[in-house]
Amino acid sequence: MERVPILKIGDILLVSIQVDMSDQTAVALQEDLAERIVDTGCHGVIIDITALDIVDSFVGRMLSTIASISKVLDAETVVVGMRPAVAITLVELGLSLNGIRTALNVERGMELIAAAHDDGFDDELEDEPDAETATP
């Protein structure tokens, strides 16, 4: 099974996804990332998807899961390098990657994480409607 490498750069973990994600690879990546966040105490995860031609619902869900896990471990997740065609397909599929932050490239992602970590980065996410507490 292929494992996606996780690179530590300063206070950030960088993951560049280049291979087709299988169930196993996705689960392994989530576990590895969670472990590395705890080991290193990093406050940010940048996921680069420059190499992906297609982001389907499986990958979309994986990104959401990673973002949720990271959030629980006090790390912000930013997805970078999305191709224009991928963005168009995502919207057409009705996948809006809720709760995931995006940036154009790694450098902007790093700025976003640095800024979010200074401010307390929960502010924006709190604005989303919460299905569980909404009145029927």
Residue 127 C-beta: closest distance to its own copies, Å: 30
Residues at the contact surface with its own copies, assessed by CB under 8 A: 2-5, 7-10, 14, 16, 18-19, 48, 50-51, 81, 105-107, 110
Compute the C-alpha angle 38/124/33, nearest 5°.
20
Residue 56 C-beta: closest distance to its own copies, Å: 18
Q: Do the beta carbons of residue 75 and residue 43 sit within 8 Å?
A: yes
Residue 18 C-beta: closest distance to its own copies, Å: 5
Give the start-end residues of each E strand in the chain: 6-9, 12-16, 44-48, 76-80, 101-103
Q: Do the beta carbons of residue 33 and residue 66 sit within 8 Å?
A: yes
Closer CB to its own copies, 51 or 115, in the complex: 51
